[in-house]
Amino acid sequence: MEPDLGLLSATEQHAYRLLVRLGGAQPEDLAAHDAMSAGEAATALEGLRAKGLAGPGPVFHPLPPDVALGDVLLRRQQALENERRTVAALSEDYRSHTRRRSSEHLVEIVVGATALRQRLREMQDSARGEILWFCRANPLAMAGPENAEEGSALDRGVSYRAIYERELLELPGELESILDSVAHGEEARTLPELPVRLAIADRSLAICPLVPDESRGLGEPTAALIRSSELLDAMVALFESYWERATPLVAEASRADLQQSEVLLLSLFVSGMPDKSIATHLGVSKRTVQRRLDRLMDLAGVDTRTGLAFQAARRGWLAQPRP
């Protein structure tokens, strides 16, 4: 007979153990060895028989529990796994349809510089893997030197990849702050222009301001918090496409015959910064910058600055050092 799929009650468990010790018993025998009536003993023995743990009466004999209940437990385990998969599928179906029906599950609007700054801090504090950042000139909510959260995130193993607009490098204190972050593990690159301001955490949350620069000053800055979606995937792809063509900013020499100051100079030169600005940031004269560039051209075996930029990329002189 197919065993009953019900669990053993406490009375049935106790009756089975007593039946095993006796080797076989009628209801009266079981009642005589325990504080139960003959009726209760009969009910317990019938329950054991129905579940395949005892043979038929009038004298009930115990049967092996692994034979009787092994298949039952296996089927229960399979049924539980099927139910788990069903719940997971239903949950995913709920999430996907809810996002399509209700935009607030996908995009949240943040208004005001203070609120935006707080969200940027929270995003970095909760990040576990990687932060991707487009840093345009004239920050809306938080300048680089104010971003204290980056240091603690780097310390706990979060990686940072940031692309800076060239104009930002010329603002007071910005380049020094960037180079300090690079020294602590950030990977930094630069481009003449970036399309948007953007911060992405763990490829699962992005913050992107919505108001264009020409509209600044007309009200509080407004940004969108974008959660996992195809829109977020597109933003990650946008970052990666710009990262590939950006110029690395490094603070360590990648060749024994290059001085550290020359590698930084080369980074700023390839990024398009004029000689005068490079000289200001390095604390040297414009003539010294030109002389060092001439040395680098000799080292690269070229006689033009365009050739120097090409050879620097080809030879990996600006390869980003790994922490």
Q: Can you tell me the distance from the alpha carbon of 293 to that of 165, in angstroms, rounded to the nearest whole number?
A: 22
List the domain boundaries for the chain: 1-95, 105-249, 260-314
- Per-residue confidence band for 141, with pLDDT thresholds at 50, 70 and 90: low
Lookup result for tokens 């003449």 = 192
230 CB-contact burial (10 Å; exposed 0-12 / middle 13-18 / buried 19+): exposed
Q: Is the dihedral of CA 255, 260, 263, 267 positive or negative?
A: positive
List, for residues 52-83, the tens digit of each pLDDT value. 888 887 888 888 877 666 666 777 777 777 77
216, pLDDT greater than 60: no
Domain at 1-95: CATH code = 1.10.10.10
94, pLDDT greater than 80: no
Residue 112 gets the label, from left (phi > 0), alpha (psi -120 to 50) or beta, of left
Equal fold, 1-95 vs 105-249: no
- In this prediction, residues 223-242 reach a mean pLDDT of 91
List, for residues 150-196, the tens digit of each pLDDT value. 888 899 899 999 999 988 888 888 888 888 888 888 999 988 899 88
Q: What is the pLDDT of residue 202?
A: 93
- In this prediction, residues 192-208 reach a mean pLDDT of 91
Residue 225: which of 144, 303, 109 has the closest Cα?
Answer: 109
Lookup result for tokens 């009642």 = 31
List, for residues 255-302, the tens digit of each pLDDT value. 556 777 788 888 888 888 888 888 888 888 989 989 888 888 888 888
Q: Which CATH number fits domain 105-249: 3.40.640.10, 1.10.357.10, 3.30.870.10, 3.20.20.80?
A: 3.30.870.10
Domain at 260-314: CATH code = 1.10.10.10
Average pLDDT, the chain: 80
